[in-house]
Every structure is written in C-alpha cells, then in structure tokens.
Structure 1
Amino acid sequence: MDGAFDDRDGTIWMDGTLVDWREAKVHVLTHGLHYASSVFEGERCYNGTIFKGHEHSQRLIRSAELIDMELPYTAEEIDAAKDDMLKANGWTDAYVRAVAFRGSGQDMGVSAARNPVRLVVAGWQWGNYYGDAKMKGAKLDISKWKRPSPETIPSQAKAAGLYMICTMSKHAAEAKGCSDAMMFDYRGYVAEATGANIFFVKDGEVHTPTADCFLNGLTRQTVLQMLHERGVTVHERHIMPEELEGFEQCWLTGTAAEVTPVGQIGDYSFEVGQMTRDIAEAYEKLVRS
C-alpha cells in the first residue's frame, strides 16, 4: 500500500458507516485538530485476528474518560467496527488505528462539551516499524524532551496531544541518522522511547522503568508476563542515566515496534543477545498462534 495517506484505495469505518478511503474527511474546525481532544489505539492483526484487540478497545474507552470524553460505543462495538474495516479491505495482516475525537459542533474554544465525539477505524499494511533494526538493533538518540509529571498530564491515556514531544524527538533523532530517541522522565530517570517501552538486560536479569509517568503498554505487559513465565528475574524500578553503561542488552516493545533489539543509545552500545532474540522470537510466535 503506497502513496499519501489521504489518497489510497480502500475503506475506512467512520461513525458506524464504511466509507471510501478518499471520502473519510472531517471539517477544518474539528475540535480535535485545534485542541488535541483525541485518543487513539494502534493494533496489529495477525492471520485474521487482532492481538489483544478487546483490550485495546477497552483502553481506548479508558483513555477517552481520562481526557473527559465519553465514547458513544462499547468495547464490543469497537471490536466489531475493527472487524468490519478489516473484512471490507480483505486484510488478514494489517496495522489497525482506532481514533476518537471531539468533532465540529457548537463549541470552538477550549471547552467542547456540546460537540459530538466521533470514532474512526482505519488500517494499513505495515512491516517492521524500525526497518532492518529488527535484526541488527536500532540506534537511538537521547531526547532533550522529558516525559512530564502525571500531575500535569493524564499519563496513562493514549492521547494525541501527549505525542507532540515524541514527534519532535523522533524528528531530531532521524536527522542524526537514528531510528528513534530515548526519553528521560521529569525526574531524570530513564522512561521510554517516543512510541515504545524499553527493557534492559544485565547478568541474566531484566530491568525496566516503572510505568508511573508514561503509558504502560499492552506489549510491555505481554512481555513482562512472558519473562515471568520463563522464570526470568525482572526489576521494575527507576533507572538512572549512568546505569546505561552497565547494561548488556536492550530492546523496545510496542504494537508497532513489536519486540525490537537496540544496538545503541547515544554513546552506549548493546549486544543483540540471546535473551533479546528469544523474547523477540517468542513474541512473534505468540501473536500468530
């Protein structure tokens, strides 16, 4: 599937109706465009089944609630919308994007209580998020932007506005020849990449930042469960920047990223070791089982 995202063949689900891809439009005075009153989910469909699709639908509803927005659909109805979109396009393997936002209405200021909440479900065929880094290890920059305090944002919402600094960080990283950027949090602890959670390995044990000011990803939760089932000791804790030098392996997790090895973060290098490869392979098997 090639070309600009607004000029493709296909079908998109909008507010209960399947529409032609090129006709899936909103007005320029849509509240979500001006004030980021929008939440979304990124999901992957493998062999005709969306991995943890219902959990993603539930999280979309929770994210909306966290930004004071009530979705006019249940999780089951959102599940059905995703299935309808995939069937209409004839896809069994695809990336799925559900996005809910405040549309155009009587309000066009910060307040938008009288505006309708809209839901769109689209999809596309997408390979490795980090390209060949999936095999040799991604190269990460270190962002100048930090994940903010949960006292300033709804950090457990997958909300569009929270990704502004992620876009800026990824652009800066790509300009340096990197795939992505790692971010610290407001306290100076290691947090995550711009759209993926992060794991480290040292002496056969795994260390991952506590998800207390960034999204606790569904892929992160899945990988944690996999590690526990394998008897691997996992430390969910605050990680200081100076600890990066002592870690041997590193990987990222996310619906788009899946499990991607990291070979370098700034000046720190990591091997694509056996545990990283094992977890990546086991995750691939799990999502396709």
Structure 2
Amino acid sequence: MADGYDDRDGKIWMDGHLVEWRDAKVHILTHALHYASSVFEGERCYGGRIFESRRHSERLRRSASLIDFEIPYSVDEIEAAKTATLKANGLTDAYVRAIAWRGVGPEMGVASSRNPVRMAVAAWEWGNYYGDAKTRGARLDLSKWKRPSPETIPSEAKAAGLYMICTMSKHAAEAKGCSDAMMLDYRGYVAEATGANIFFVRDGEVHTPLADCFLNGITRQTVLGLLKEKGVPVHERHIQPSELEGFQQCWLTGTAAEVTPVGQIGDYRFEVGALTRDISDSYERLVRA
C-alpha cells in the first residue's frame, strides 16, 4: 500500500455510490475546504462489527445540525454506507471515517445555505494510534492552546474546525518527542488530549474532567460504564492542573486511541497500574465480544 492516503487501492463510498479510491475527489472551491463546514466520525470495526456504529451515525447527523446543515442521509442509510464500504474493501478489522461537508455550489462566501451537502465513508487498516504507548504509556506535552468556551463554538459537535488547535498542539508535542498534548479549557481546568478524553486515578478512585466544553466521547462514556460495573468510584469534575502531582495513574480514551495508558504529562509521571490495565483489557474484550 502506498504511503499517501490519496493513492491507494480500494473503494470509497461517496454520495450514494462506491467509487475507486483514487477518484474520490472534491473541487478546490468546496466550501468546507475554505470555511471548515464539515463534520466527521472516527469508528473502529472489530471482527466485522463497528463498535457503537449507530451511536456514531446519530452523532454525525447531530453534529451537522449543530453547525447548521442537514445530512441528506438517514441513520439507516449511513449505516448501510459503512457496511458497503467495509464489504467493498474486504475489511473486518478497520478504522472507518464517515464525513459530511458543504460542497461547491452557487455560494463561495461565508454563507453557503444553497450549496449541496455531501458525504463520504472510507475505511482502512489502522493499528495502535499511539504505537507502543499502549504498553509502556504515552508521553504528553502541555499545550499552550485551550479548549474554548461553549459560548464561542458548538463544543458538542465533532466538527473539523474545532480540531485546528488540536493539530497545532500535537505538532508541537511531536517536535518535543511526545505522543500528544494535554489541553486545558478556557477556565484553566484540565480538559482532554488533542483527540482523546483523559482519566486519572488516585487511591483507587477515578477522576475525569467534566465534559462541559469539549466532546463527551463515545469511548469515554463506554469506559465510564465499565467503571460503574466494576464498582470503581468515579468523580466527573473540574480538575486543576496542580492536581496532576497527586494522581498515580492516567489513561486516554477515544475510538482511535481506544484505552491508552499515559506515563508522563510534562514533568508529572504516572505508573501503568493495575486499574489502567484492567480497564484497557475490559474495553478490548467488550469491543470484540
């Protein structure tokens, strides 16, 4: 397989049809390219089944609504598109990317209500998002960028534009030899990593930031359910950065990240402890059940 994501064998579902991978293109004046009018989902397929597939499809449509457009496909049609894409590419274990955006049309200013909404689904094999950090623990930088107030952005939407500062933060982290960066929110509380939610452990109890200004991830919600089933006390609350010194364990959650332990954030170090390993193993069993 070629290195570039634009030069691969396979099929991509676009606007109701399967097309050759290399032919899945959009015009340079596509509104989303200029104004970030795009929403997406990242999903993983395990053994032929996309974990929480329908919830992802529902969130895709909800995200579009939050940034003021409607996807011209129902949840059932989106589900069928994902199934067709996996089948066409002969994939049973894969990462699935569904994306919808305002396309090219009669408007090319900020407003684009008359431009058509388009949608595509691609799937490919993708291993551990953080490489060997799944076993030894990821190293995180501290981002200079903060998650903004929900009064300034639709923070509940999985929208492309909201990831600009995440890309910048991750690039800065990688330049320092880190896997990712931890971001604070606009008030200075711990928020999340650039594409994953974050959990901490202190004395057998779990603490995780209250998702009131960033995406409440589906994997995050799944892990909260696992912790509840295990009877582990969980505190969803505002966390000050100074509290990191008192936490013994830390992990990230996300569709791409799955459950990834964290070994270091800035100058703070964490062990890959028993609870972290247990939650990671439990999540792995659940998605492959």
Report the equivalent of 1:236. Answer: 236
- Cα distance, 1:63 vs. partner? 0.1
Question: Which letter maps to 1:248?
Answer: Q
- Cα distance, 1:254 vs. partner? 0.0
Report the equivalent of 2:261. Answer: 261
- Cα distance, 1:3 vs. partner? 1.6
Report the equivalent of 1:21. Answer: 21
Matched, 1:60 2:51: no
Report the equivalent of 2:6. Answer: 6
* 1:168-204 deviations in Å (ceiling 9; x for gaps): 0000000000000000000000000000000000000
User: 2 CA distance for matches of 1:81 and 1:124?
Assistant: 15
User: 2 CA distance for matches of 1:51 and 1:140?
Assistant: 27
Report the equivalent of 1:49. Answer: 49
Report the equivalent of 1:100. Answer: 100
Report the equivalent of 1:280. Answer: 280
Aligned pairs for 1:104-123 within 5 A: 104-123=104-123
> What TM-score do the two structures reach when normalised by structure 2?
1.00
Matched, 1:176 2:154: no
Question: Which letter maps to 1:117?
Answer: V
User: 1 CA distance for matches of 2:69 and 2:287?
Assistant: 31
* 1:68-89 deviations in Å (ceiling 9; x for gaps): 0101011110000000000000
Report the equivalent of 1:85. Answer: 85
Report the equivalent of 1:33. Answer: 33
Report the equivalent of 1:154. Answer: 154
User: 2 CA distance for matches of 1:76 and 1:212?
Assistant: 29
Secondary structure of 2:41 counterpart: strand
Report the equivalent of 1:75. Answer: 75
Report the equivalent of 1:196. Answer: 196
User: 2 CA distance for matches of 1:20 and 1:242?
Assistant: 51
Q: List alignment gaps of at least 5 residues for structure 1.
A: none
* 1:120-145 deviations in Å (ceiling 9; x for gaps): 00011000000000000000000000
* 1:65-113 deviations in Å (ceiling 9; x for gaps): 0000101011110000000000000000000000000000000000000
User: 2 CA distance for matches of 1:196 and 1:212?
Assistant: 15
Question: Aligned pairs, how many?
Answer: 289
What is the RMSD computed on CA atoms of the aligned residues?
0.4
Secondary structure of 1:110 counterpart: coil
Report the equivalent of 1:251. Answer: 251
Question: Which letter maps to 2:149?
Answer: S
Question: Which letter maps to 1:249?
Answer: Q
User: 2 CA distance for matches of 1:74 and 1:238?
Assistant: 36
Question: Which letter maps to 1:80?
Answer: A
User: 1 CA distance for matches of 2:189 and 2:3?
Assistant: 39
User: 2 CA distance for matches of 1:40 and 1:168?
Assistant: 19
User: 2 CA distance for matches of 1:257 and 1:263?
Assistant: 15
Report the equivalent of 1:207. Answer: 207
- Cα distance, 1:2 vs. partner? 3.9
Report the equivalent of 1:133. Answer: 133
User: 1 CA distance for matches of 2:13 and 2:3?
Assistant: 20
Q: List alignment gaps of at least 5 residues for structure 2.
A: none
Secondary structure of 1:187 counterpart: coil
User: 1 CA distance for matches of 2:182 and 2:233?
Assistant: 24
User: 1 CA distance for matches of 2:183 and 2:55?
Assistant: 26
> What TM-score do the two structures reach when normalised by structure 1?
1.00
User: 1 CA distance for matches of 2:109 and 2:136?
Assistant: 48
Report the equivalent of 2:217. Answer: 217
User: 2 CA distance for matches of 1:145 and 1:135?
Assistant: 28
User: 1 CA distance for matches of 2:114 and 2:2?
Assistant: 38
- Cα distance, 1:8 vs. partner? 0.5
User: 2 CA distance for matches of 1:216 and 1:75?
Assistant: 20
Question: Which letter maps to 1:105?
Answer: G
Segments of 4+ moved more than 2 angstroms: none
User: 2 CA distance for matches of 1:253 and 1:76?
Assistant: 27
User: 2 CA distance for matches of 1:59 and 1:2?
Assistant: 32
User: 2 CA distance for matches of 1:134 and 1:50?
Assistant: 21
Secondary structure of 2:171 counterpart: helix
